Amino acid sequence: MVEINLHNSRTRKKEPFAPIDASDVRIYVCGPTVYDRAHLGNARPVVVFDLLYRLMRHVYGEEHVTYVRNFTDVDDRINATALARREAGAEGSLEELIAERSEETIRWYHEDMDALGALRPAIKGDQSRAEPRATQYIGQMIEMIEGLIASGHAYAAEGHVLFSVESYEDYGALSGRLVEDMIAGARVEVAPYKRNPMDFVLWKPSTDELPGWDSPWGRGRPGWHIECSAMSYELLGESFDIHGGGIDLQFPHHENEIAQSCCAHPKADFARVWMHNEMLQVEGKKMSKSLGNFFTVRDLLDQAVSGEVMRYVFMLTHYRSPMDWTEKKRNDAQKELGKWHRMKGDNQPGEVPQEILAALADDLNTPRAITELRRLADIGDIPGLLAGLELLGLKTVSSDMLDLLQAADREKLGELAESLAAARAAAMESKDFSKVDELKNALIAAGVEVRMSKAEIELLPGPGFDAAKLEGLE
């Protein structure tokens, strides 16, 4: 079996991966808070852990891998969005507007991540429970909080329940922070009911209007961190193999998850391996609305940037390195993917080349895998190239070759289709089809598939498409 090595954020080193149970490799990844569309930075962990999921399925078998990714559907930002809709005149109760917004955002998320070629999470092939929503597990969260209070790791105060950081001696091990240093530089709410400034909320009060659930501490709703602890426990058990997410979640979210879960189940490991992807920039700068470089996945899709191109640009940079999205990378990706797709012809994928599998097994080394794809293309190993693309989730993302063309090339094909239609209309009158044949033959020589019907003329790039040969045609 292929040996997989993964960088464990907790031990800060690359380690051989040995699953707890090879018949059920278990992965949990923190999913989105469903209040708005996913931006490009949100998409990076989706692609990273989709690659991990694909690798594990390839090595251990589809039915032997469990991948869970949650939806946070109880959050102040969701509430604020629903309140804004009501103030704008939307009909329905606040609860109905919140539910409507959550459903809408989850649908958007699925559409956009599907476009990136990301597989839906599944529990041994079953997708029905693999995307839990926080609101479906409130009872389990309350039960876990009660257990933490009973064991002395949490306390109730003024309608809140807080986790006592001092009760867990390993707090800070994941992020490498000392509690004393964190307290000294704390930028957290120092509420009067907190025993320690670093203590964090497990449960908080809720008004009658906002979403809330009855609990031993009054009507309220869970804190963010307890959600993932409760859902991962219910679906993956006390110990599971891998927990993933963006580096921005390492502290405090993942640190707090570890504290809660290890105190709730002190004989278990919680997650054995922690994986974090680095952040994304745009043209060398942090993505920001104020800088005008903030965009969602849907923004790019609407600009005819295919999901396959986005996915490919992500993979040009190793997941543990900061990534810079640039127009040059985007354009180069379109050209390279277009070239590879045009090489397909009648070929079918062969066996996955060992070099590509080895690259992924080496802590998801996608830059090395892409170097191997280029080598396969250069030597004409098309079945190997196609198999590699398929394993990387690139083969089936874009079925329309036009998605992978440069905008100028698409425009040129559109102009030539109009020219061919005009030439055909003139030929129908003059009965001289020489110009039609001349233009059609030139297009075919450039690798363009010419589809002519009575209603329309369609020009599509074929396996041997060469945009340079379109120059001079009109």
Using an 8 Å Cβ cutoff, are 26 and 237 in contact?
A: yes
List of residues 6+ apart from 66 with CB closer than 8 A = 24, 25, 26, 27, 122, 123, 124, 130, 235, 236
What local confidence, expressed as pLDDT, does residue 400 receive? 54
Using an 8 Å Cβ cutoff, are 308 and 397 in contact?
A: yes
What local confidence, expressed as pLDDT, does residue 469 receive? 86
What local confidence, expressed as pLDDT, does residue 210 receive? 84
Express each pLDDT in 408-430 by its tens digit: 777 888 889 999 999 999 999 99
CA–CA distance, 223 with 202 (Å, rounded to integer): 5
Q: Is 257 annotated as a binding residue?
A: yes
CA–CA distance, 244 with 291 (Å, rounded to integer): 29
Q: Is 263 annotated as a binding residue?
A: no
Choose from 299-308, 311-320, 410-419 the range with maximum mean pLDDT.
311-320
Q: Is 253 annotated as a binding residue?
A: yes
Choose from 60-69, 170-179, 438-447 the range with maximum mean pLDDT.
60-69
Using an 8 Å Cβ cutoff, are 331 and 304 in contact?
A: no
Using an 8 Å Cβ cutoff, are 244 and 45 in contact?
A: yes
Express each pLDDT in 80-103 by its tens digit: 888 888 888 888 887 888 888 899
Mean pLDDT rounded to a whole number for the chain:
91
187-190's contacts with Cβ under 8 Å and 24+ in sequence apart are: none
What local confidence, expressed as pLDDT, does residue 396 receive? 44
Express each pLDDT in 323-371 by its tens digit: 999 999 998 998 899 889 878 878 899 999 999 999 999 999 999 999 9
Q: Is 30 annotated as a binding residue?
A: yes
Choose from 174-183, 245-254, 287-296, 343-352 the range with maximum mean pLDDT.
245-254
Max Cα separation, the chain? 94
Q: Is 336 annotated as a binding residue?
A: no
What local confidence, expressed as pLDDT, does residue 405 receive? 66
What local confidence, expressed as pLDDT, does residue 464 receive? 66
CA separation, residue 204 to residues 95, 320, 334, 344, 467 (Å): 18, 35, 49, 57, 61
Per CATH, is 5-277 categorized as 3.40.50.620? yes
DSSP string, 12-78: TEEEE---S-TTSEEEEE---BTTS--BHHHHHHHHHHHHHHHHHHHHH-GGGEEEEE-BB---HHH
